[in-house]
Structure 1
Amino acid sequence: MKSTLRRFGSVVALSTLTCSLMAGTALAQQSQEWPPEFQPLPDYFGYMEPEESLETFTLPPGYQIDLVASEPLLGDGIVMQWDYQGRLWVVETTFMLNLEDLTSAEPSSSLVILEDTNGDGVMDERKVFAENLVLPRSLLILEPGKVILGESPNIWLLEDTDGDDVADVKEPITEGNYGALGGSIEHNPNGMFWNIDNRIYNAYLDEVYQWNGEGFDVDRGISIAQWGVTADDEGRILRQGNSAAPSMSYVADYYYGRSSIFTRNRGNHEWIGGQSRDANRVWPIRPTPGINRGYVDGTLDENGAMMELTSAGGAAVYRGTALGASDYGNVFVPEPAGQLVTMSTLQDSGAGIYLRKAYEQGDFLTSTEERFRPVFTQVGPDGALYVLDLYHGIVQDAVFMSNYLKDWVDEHDLGNTHGVNGRIYRVSHEDGEASEIMDLTQMSPEELVGLLEHDNGWYRDHAQRLIVVQQQADAAPALVDLFNSDADDVARLHALWTLDGLDALEAEHVVSALGDANAEIQTAALRVSESFLSDGNQEVIDAFLNLIGNTQNKWQVQYQLAASAGELDDANRLDAIIDIIDTYGEDYIALDAALSGVPDEQVSELLTMLFDIENGSTGIGNAITTIASGLTQVGSADEVSAMLEAVGAEDRPAWQRDAALLGMEVILAGVSDPGLAPALPRSNTGSWTVGDLGERAFADFNAEVNAADAAAQAELAEQRAANAPQRPESAMSDVDGVPMLALEAAPEGFLALQDDEDLSGRIAGITALMTWPEANQ
C-alpha cells in the first residue's frame, strides 16, 4: 500500500532489530521438511526455564520466535494490549492456581504494564496499574492514563490522574450486566475490541458499545462465541469459539438487535470454513492425551493427538509488517490444550469470505512441552506477532473438568504450578520488516492522520482511535484530504471512519463515498450514511436508493445496503426494503439484514405490501415465509389473526399462500427453516459417557459457579425486561411442551382452506395447534 511510514522513519531492517534482542533468546527448531515429523509424548511434564521452552518450539522455515517477557516479570497473563507509547499491558489472573481451594471470586488478579526501557526488544520493567481484581477478562486502552477493564459483573473506567502509572480512579461504566461475580471464567463476557467503525465488540455478550466521552452508548447485538474478538482490514468481525474455527460477521451485530420479531440472523456468526470441518482440524506435534474429552472415541487420532480445536481463543488477524508478505490478513488462533497456534488464510470467494488452513498437515507454531499454553495473540507496534503463553499445567477450568482429565493432572503433577509464571513471545520472519516503535501521544493531529497510511495496521488502528477518543477536531481537514486523495483504499477507509467518529462528515462526503469504485469504501459509506438517511437528507437518500440493483455484484455492498435500509426515514423505508428483498432476497443474508431493520410495529404492514405483489421473486417468497415465522412465534393475537385471514383470502396466489404456510409450519410443526445455514458434517466422536470418566471432577464447585452464572443471567434478563419497549402479549404459549396459538376468534377464512384437498392436511396440522373461545364447544 502507499505509505507515509518512511516519512516517520518507521521501518528498520528486521535483522537489525533482532540482533539487539537480549542474549539467551533462541530460534525455534526449523524443520527442513514441512510439516515437521511427529514427536513422541515427552517423559517430563514439570517446569522448564524459558530458554528451555524455546527449544521445544517448531515453526515453518523462515520464521523465528524470541522471548519478550517471562516470570518473574509476568505471571498468568490471559489478555494483552499495547498502548500508544508502545508499552504492553497484560491482564494477570489467578486462574487454577490451587485445586484444593477452588474459587472464581478471589480478588487477586492484576493489570500490569511491561516496558522495554533500553530498546533491546525485551521487557525489563513492570508496573502494577491495578490490583485486587477478580478474574478480569477484557481490556481496552482508551487514551493515555485511561483504560476500560471488564471485571465481571462490571465494566470499569480506570484512570491514572497523576501520571505515576497507577490507577487512582475506578468508576463503573456499567454495573451488573457484564457476566457474573463468581461465575465461570469460560462463560463470562470478553473482547472489548475497538473496531474500525469506532464501536466496541464483545464475545459472550449481546451488547455493542460506543464511547461517548463519559461512558457507553449501548446497542443490543448477538451473544456469540466464547473467547476473543478480532477483525480484518475492512472491520469484518471474527469471533472465536472454543471448538471451532473463527466465525465472521458480514453484517455488524447491532443491526440484528433492532427487531424482536426476527431472531434468525444470517450474516452474523457465519461459518466461513466451507462445506467440511477441515478448518477445525489441528496438527499437534506430539500426542495430547491431557484434554478434557481425551477419553472419547474419535477425539484423538491414531497417534493420540487431538484432531479438532477444543479450547481455542484469543485469535488475531495479522495486519503487521514483520512476518512474510503472504501472511498479511491471515488469522492466528491459539489452541492451549494442543500446545499450538494455527494459521488460516482469508480469501474473497466473490460471494463472501472463505477461511482455509494455511498448511494441510501441520500447524504454524507447535511445542512438545505440556505447559506451553498459548491463550492470546496480537500484532504489536513493531509489526510482529505476539503470543501470550499462560504457561500452566492446567488450562481447563475446574468447573468443567472431567474425572479423566483430573486423573491425568494428578498423575503428572500438573496442579503444581511452580509459582506464578507466564511468557510472551515475538514471532517474525526473515523477509519481514519491523516497524519502528513511536510514541503516538507526542504527535500532532496531522501526523496521526499520516499514520492512517502506515503499512502496519496497528498504527492505523491506534492513530484513528486516539483521534476519535480525544475528539481531535483539528484533524478533520487532513482527513478529508486523505479520503479524497489517491491513497491506498485501506487508508481512505480509515479516514472515512475517523471523520465519522469526529461527527465531521458532510453529505457531499457521503455521496462521494457511496459512488466510490471500491466495494469496501461503498460498504462503509452505507453505514455512515445512516444518520443522513434518518434525517431525511434527500441528496444522500437519492444516492442510497440509486444503489439498489446497481451494486455490480459486490456482495458486501448488497448485504450492507440491506442492513442500512432500515435506517431510512418513514417515507422511504418499507418501499426500499421491498425493492432490496425483491432484488437480493434469494440470499438469506441479505434478506435477514433487510428484515432486521423493519420496526416491529410495521411488520404486519410489510407483509400486506408483499401480498400485494402478484408475481414476486424468490426473495419475496422467502420474505413472506420469514415474516410468517416471526409473527407466529411472537405476534399478538390480532397480528396472527390478520395474517391468517390474509393467507385464507380467496384470491391469494398459491405461491404466497405456500410461502406463508411454510413459515407457520417452521414454528408450529418443526419443519426445517429454509433460511438456516447448511449444517456442518458431524464430528466422528463417540459418547461423552464412558463410565464415570466424563463426570465433573468438582461437582460441588460446578454447581456453585453455575448458580452464580444463572443468577446473573436472570438479573440481566429482569433488567432488560423492565427497560424494553412493551410489545403486545404474544399469542404463542407453551402447553406441556407443545406450541399453541391462542386467538380471540376463529380464523374463518383460514379454516375454509381445509376444503382444498391439496391444502387440507397442512391446514389441519396448523389449526390443531390453535385455540379460540368457541374452538372446543
Structure 2
Amino acid sequence: MSDHQVTIGFKQRAKKVLACILLLVINNAAALTTNNSETKINKGDRLGHDMTAPIPAEEIPPAPVLNVEKALQSIHVQDGFVIENVAAEPLIQSPVDIAFDANGRIWAVEMQTYMPDLDANNEEVPQGRVVLLEDTDANGKIDKRTVILNDVVLPRTISMVKGGILYASHESLHFAEILEDNSVGIHEVVDPIYAKGGNVEHKPNAMHYSLDNWYYNAKSNRKYRVVPLNSAIPDSAEEIYRNKYWKMLLSTTENRGQWGISSDDYGRLYHNGNSSAARGEYLRPGALMNNPGLQFAVDANTLGSNHVFPIRINPGVNRAYLPNTLVAEGPNKGKLNKYTAASGNNLYRGDQFPEEFYGVSFTPEPAGNLISVRRVTQVEGKLEGTEIYPQAEILASTDERFRPVNLNTAPDGTLYIVDMYHGVIQHADYLTTYLREQYESRDLQKHNAGMGRIYRLRWAQRPLGSLPSMTSENPQKWVTHLEHPNGWWRDMARQLIVQNYLQSLVPQIKDIVKNSQSHIARINALWTLEGLDAIDIETIELALLDKHDKVKVAGIELSTRLSKNDHESLAQKLFTLHDDNYELGVNVALVAGQIDSPLALPALEQVLNLYGGKPYVYEAVINGLTGKEKEFAQYLDAKDTFNNTEFTDLLAKVGRKDIANSNVLNLSKGQQNMYKRGKALYDGKAACFGCHGQDGEGINSMGPPLVNSEWVIGNPEILAKVLLHGLMGPITVDNKKYDISMIMPGFAQSLSDQELADISTYIRNNWGNKAHPFGGNVVTKFRTQTSDRQMPYTEAELIDRSKND
C-alpha cells in the first residue's frame, strides 16, 4: 500500500472529514496529538499517541555526513581493540550483507533504493547491486570494485555456493554462476517465494551455511541444501531447483530470528528479534521436529540483558516518545535504554582476538549506533549470556549515521562490520510522525545514496591472519583446514569438500576424527563425512567413545545415518551414554526411536527416570519415539516404574495435537465461524503469529505466550481493551514475568469490532485454552468507553496483582 500524505487544515471542516476517512483506510494510522496547524499522517502512527519529543531540539547534536577519517574518530572501542576501515564509498554503497569467498574476496549486496525518501517512493526500482570487492595489493584495504549485477530489487542476502553465489532479491532466491573473468554465466531463480510478501524489514535473510551442511535463514522456516545431481532425496525434503553443478533441496525448520543468523562450533544457531541482544538455541536445529505426530520448537534463550549503553543521545528512534524507550533522567538522559533494532548477530569464532573472546556473541544496534557483546555459557538445558563490559559496549559511535547491520568473522581472524551508513533505517510502513520530524530536523533523509562502509575490528597487539587462496590449492590441503583455529577456514573447507563431493578425501578426513587433538576439528570432520555420505559404524563408534561430550553428541545425531544392519552393534554403545549426564541423555532420547533395537525403549524409560522434568526431556522422548508411541505406553504400563501426567498427556496428543488443543468442536456453529475467521486474521491481516507464534507459545523478546494466559482466557473486558489499544510491558503471564520492550499495538483503527471478537474467539479456544467467546457488541461497548484512550495500557492499569500476594 502506498503511503498516504494528507494535509489537514484544522479550520476547514471538509478536510477534517476527508482526513477521518483516510484514517480508517491507513493501517493503524491515527489522529495525532500536536500543536502544529498541519499534521502529516504516517503509517506508524497509533491512535492517540502523544508524540511530544522527549528531548528538546536544542539539546540534540547535528548528524552531518562524516568522511571516513572523522567517522573513525567518532567510534570508541574498548582497550586493546582498534577499528580500521576496509572499504568506503564509492567502493561500497548501502551494503546490508557480505560473504567471503574461498580466496578471501568480499561479495556484497547493496540495497541502493532502501528509503530513498521518507515515503519510500520508487524503492522497488531494480537498482540494487551485487558487487565483488578485492584487495589487489594485499595492504588490508579494498582497492577494486566490480559490479556483478546492477538490476536487483532490494537485495538482502548473499552466500557462497559451488559454481557461484546465492543471493536474495525482494522476493526470490537466485543462483548466479561466476565465471573465471568474474562475469555471470547461468543466472536463474532457485526459489521464487524465498522472501515473497511482507515488508522489507520483515523478510527472510541470511542463507547461513551451518555445520550440518544446510543453509538456514532468519525470519523463515525454510532451509536449503546443495547435493549432487544423482543424490537421493530424503523424505523430509523436496528438490526445488537444479543446474549443471548441483540440485537444491528444500525442507522446513523452526521459524527463527529477524535479521541475521550465525552458529557455534556445535551447529547451534544464534539470532535475534528487534528487541533482544541475541538468542541462542540449546539443541541443534530441528531436534524436536522428527515426530510428525507432535512437533516442538526449540526455545531460543535470550543471552543476558537487553539493555544498551550508547555514547550519544538517541532521539531518532521510532517511538522514543513512549516511556522507558530512552533513559528519562540522569547523565544518560536521552540515550536508548534497550535494544530496538538488533541486527546481524555474529558468534565470533576467529583466532585474532584473545582466547577469551572465542565464542562470544556480538550484536549490532544500528538505532543506538553501537555493537554489544555477551559471553555465552551453557547450563542444563539452556544457554545464558553475560555482558563482558557492564554499563558499556565494545564499540559505540557518536555518529548518528553509523548503522552496523551485519557482522562476519573474517578469514584474517578479525570481525568485519557492515555499516550501511544511512541516516534513515526505519521503513515508511512503520514510520511515525515523530520520527519523520526527527529525520527532517537533522536532514537524515538526505545524502544517503552512494554511502557505505566496511570496518575491521581487531586486537591491536596481534597480527592479522593470512588470507586464503583455496581455489588454487590441492583439495587435500582443504582437509588440513578442517583443523584451522579460525572457524571461517573450517567452514569454508567443509563447504568446498562437501559441495564438490570429494569422496576420495574420506580416509584423510577419518584420520582427523581418530587423531586430531581438537574436539572442534573432530566434530567438523564428522559433519564433513556426513556431507559426503560417508558415515560408517566404525566412525560413529569412535565418536561415541570420544573423551569430549560434544563429540559424543555429534556421534549420537549422526548414528541415525547408519544402515539398519548396523543398528544392533550401534545400540550396545549408544544406549549406555544416557547414564553419563543430562546432555547425553537428552540427545540419546532424540534419536532412540530411529534405532532398530530392543534396547531403545528401556533407554527411553531410563532417560525419563533419570532426568524427567528437566528441560526438553519429555519433548525429546516424544520426538525419539516416532511411530512407537503405543508400544512405549504399553511398555511403561507393564514396568510401572514411571508415572507422570505431564508426560502421559503429551504422549496422548501425538497425532492429534490440533484436535486435542482446540476447543472449536465444543463451540456453536456461529462461534466456530468466528473461530475460523479469527484464525485467518491471526495468521494474516493482524499478523499476531509474528510475536506470539503459530502455536501461541510466544516468542522470546517479542511476545508472551497466549497459552493458559489470564490475559486471554480471563475477563473479556481486559482482552477487548488490549486488542483495541495495545499493551506495554513488563507483564506477568501464568505467574511468569515477561519484560519485553516491544509494544503491542492496538487495532482500534485497523480492525472492526467483529474482527477483534473473531480473533478473541480463536485465541480463547485454541492451544488448550477454553473460554466462552464474546461478540462484536462487547468490543463496541469497550471501544465507546475508552474512546479517549491515548496510549497502550500497562499491566497495573488492567490487573491488580496485589490481590494475589
Q: What TM-score do you get using the length of structure 1 for normalisation?
A: 0.74
Secondary structure of 2:166's counterpart equals strand
Q: Shift of the alpha carbon at 1:737?
A: 6.6
Letter of the 1:297 partner, please give it. P
Ranges in structure 2 where 5+ consecutive residues have no aligned partner: 1-57, 229-245, 666-704, 713-732, 752-758, 774-805
Aligned to 2:63: 45
Confirm whether residue 279 of structure 1 aligns to residue 312 of structure 2: no
Give the number of equivalent residue pairs: 627
Residues in 2 aligned to 1:201 and 1:440: alpha-carbon distance in whole angstroms? 24
Residues in 1 aligned to 2:620 and 2:735: alpha-carbon distance in whole angstroms? 18
Secondary structure of 1:245's counterpart equals coil
Residues in 2 aligned to 1:351 and 1:386: alpha-carbon distance in whole angstroms? 32
Indicate conservation of the 8 Å contact 1:296/1:685, yes or no: no
Letter of the 2:337 partner, please give it. M
Secondary structure of 2:498's counterpart equals helix
Secondary structure of 2:646's counterpart equals helix
Residues in 1 aligned to 2:595 and 2:631: alpha-carbon distance in whole angstroms? 16
Q: Shift of the alpha carbon at 1:109?
A: 1.1
Indicate which of 597, 601, 607 corresponds to 1:580: 607
Secondary structure of 2:592's counterpart equals helix
User: Where do 1:490-505 residues align within 5 Å?
Assistant: 490-505=520-535
Aligned to 1:201: 216
Residues in 1 aligned to 2:151 and 2:143: alpha-carbon distance in whole angstroms? 23
User: Where do 1:187-198 residues align within 5 Å?
Assistant: 187-198=202-213
Secondary structure of 2:305's counterpart equals helix
Q: Shift of the alpha carbon at 1:444?
A: 1.6
Aligned to 2:437: 407
Residues in 2 aligned to 1:767 and 1:291: alpha-carbon distance in whole angstroms? 39
Confirm whether residue 553 of structure 1 aligns to residue 572 of structure 2: no
Distance 1:734 1:59, change over 3 A: closer
Q: Which has the higher contact order (CA 8 A, sep 6+)?
A: 1
Distance 1:41 1:147, change over 3 A: farther
Residues in 2 aligned to 1:152 and 1:571: alpha-carbon distance in whole angstroms? 51
Residues in 1 aligned to 2:319 and 2:118: alpha-carbon distance in whole angstroms? 19
Letter of the 1:476 partner, please give it. V
Confirm whether residue 111 of structure 1 aligns to residue 168 of structure 2: no
Indicate which of 298, 307, 314 corresponds to 2:324: 298
Confirm whether residue 510 of structure 1 aligns to residue 540 of structure 2: yes
Indicate conservation of the 8 Å contact 2:710/2:734, yes or no: no
Residues in 1 aligned to 2:223 and 2:632: alpha-carbon distance in whole angstroms? 28
Indicate conservation of the 8 Å contact 1:297/1:685, yes or no: no
Indicate conservation of the 8 Å contact 2:204/2:219, yes or no: yes
Distance 1:433 1:101, change over 3 A: closer
Aligned to 2:658: 634
Q: Shift of the alpha carbon at 1:129?
A: 1.9
Residues in 1 aligned to 2:108 and 2:263: alpha-carbon distance in whole angstroms? 20
Residues in 1 aligned to 2:444 and 2:466: alpha-carbon distance in whole angstroms? 40
Task: Identify which range, 252-261 or 114-123, moves more after superposition.
Answer: 252-261
Indicate conservation of the 8 Å contact 1:310/1:335, yes or no: yes
Indicate conservation of the 8 Å contact 2:567/2:596, yes or no: no
Residues in 2 aligned to 1:607 and 1:672: alpha-carbon distance in whole angstroms? 36
Residues in 2 aligned to 1:342 and 1:669: alpha-carbon distance in whole angstroms? 35
Indicate conservation of the 8 Å contact 2:575/2:600, yes or no: no
Confirm whether residue 222 of structure 1 aligns to residue 279 of structure 2: no
Q: Shift of the alpha carbon at 1:237?
A: 1.1
Indicate which of 621, 642, 649 corresponds to 1:594: 621
Secondary structure of 1:78's counterpart equals strand
Letter of the 2:404 partner, please give it. P
Distance 1:608 1:739, change over 3 A: farther
Residues in 1 aligned to 2:442 and 2:364: alpha-carbon distance in whole angstroms? 23
Residues in 2 aligned to 1:483 and 1:509: alpha-carbon distance in whole angstroms? 8
User: Where do 1:159-558 residues align within 5 Å?
Assistant: 159-160=177-178, 162-176=179-193, 178-180=194-196, 183-213=198-228, 214-265=246-297, 268-273=298-303, 278-301=304-327, 302=329, 303-349=333-379, 352-532=382-562, 537-549=567-579, 552-553=580-581, 555=583, 557-558=584-585
1:92-117 C-alpha deviation (Å, 9 max, x unpaired): 11211222453553322111110000
1:672-703 C-alpha deviation (Å, 9 max, x unpaired): 99xx99955425898978xxxx999xx9xx9x
Residues in 1 aligned to 2:150 and 2:549: alpha-carbon distance in whole angstroms? 46
Secondary structure of 2:562's counterpart equals helix
Indicate which of 634, 646, 665 corresponds to 1:622: 646
Indicate conservation of the 8 Å contact 1:192/1:201, yes or no: yes
Secondary structure of 1:346's counterpart equals strand
1:110-146 C-alpha deviation (Å, 9 max, x unpaired): 1111000011110011112223112232221013x41
Secondary structure of 2:494's counterpart equals helix
Residues in 1 aligned to 2:360 and 2:264: alpha-carbon distance in whole angstroms? 9
Residues in 2 aligned to 1:668 and 1:66: alpha-carbon distance in whole angstroms? 49
Indicate conservation of the 8 Å contact 2:317/2:435, yes or no: yes
Indicate conservation of the 8 Å contact 1:77/1:390, yes or no: yes
Task: Identify which range, 677-686 or 459-468, moves more after superposition.
Answer: 677-686
Residues in 1 aligned to 2:447 and 2:652: alpha-carbon distance in whole angstroms? 57
Ranges in structure 1 where 5+ consecutive residues have no aligned partner: 1-39, 642-665, 703-732, 742-761, 770-777
Indicate conservation of the 8 Å contact 1:296/1:688, yes or no: no
Task: Identify which range, 103-112 or 407-416, moves more after superposition.
Answer: 103-112
Letter of the 2:116 partner, please give it. L
Letter of the 2:286 partner, please give it. Y
Distance 1:632 1:497, change over 3 A: closer
Q: What TM-score do you get using the length of structure 2 for normalisation?
A: 0.72
Residues in 1 aligned to 2:338 and 2:145: alpha-carbon distance in whole angstroms? 37
Residues in 2 aligned to 1:686 and 1:192: alpha-carbon distance in whole angstroms? 29
Residues in 2 aligned to 1:222 and 1:187: alpha-carbon distance in whole angstroms? 16
Q: Shift of the alpha carbon at 1:68?
A: 0.5
Q: Shift of the alpha carbon at 1:299?
A: 1.0
Letter of the 1:197 partner, please give it. D
Letter of the 2:89 partner, please give it. E
Confirm whether residue 120 of structure 1 aligns to residue 135 of structure 2: no
Distance 1:528 1:122, change over 3 A: same
Residues in 1 aligned to 2:434 and 2:195: alpha-carbon distance in whole angstroms? 29
Q: Shift of the alpha carbon at 1:537?
A: 2.7
1:292-322 C-alpha deviation (Å, 9 max, x unpaired): 1201101111211111111011111111122
Letter of the 1:420 partner, please give it. G
Secondary structure of 1:65's counterpart equals strand
Percent same amino acid at aligned positions? 27
Residues in 2 aligned to 1:325 and 1:695: alpha-carbon distance in whole angstroms? 53
Distance 1:121 1:667, change over 3 A: closer
1:398-438 C-alpha deviation (Å, 9 max, x unpaired): 11112221121122211113432100001111233421102
Q: Shift of the alpha carbon at 1:623?
A: 1.3
Residues in 1 aligned to 2:99 and 2:708: alpha-carbon distance in whole angstroms? 49
Confirm whether residue 563 of structure 1 aligns to residue 575 of structure 2: no
Residues in 1 aligned to 2:578 and 2:711: alpha-carbon distance in whole angstroms? 31
1:704-757 C-alpha deviation (Å, 9 max, x unpaired): xxxxxxxxxxxxxxxxxxxxxxxxxxxxx997776499xxxxxxxxxxxxxxxx
Indicate conservation of the 8 Å contact 1:581/1:623, yes or no: no
Q: Shift of the alpha carbon at 1:576?
A: 4.4
Residues in 1 aligned to 2:631 and 2:145: alpha-carbon distance in whole angstroms? 62
For the aligned residues, what is the CA RMSD?
3.5
Residues in 1 aligned to 2:376 and 2:80: alpha-carbon distance in whole angstroms? 21
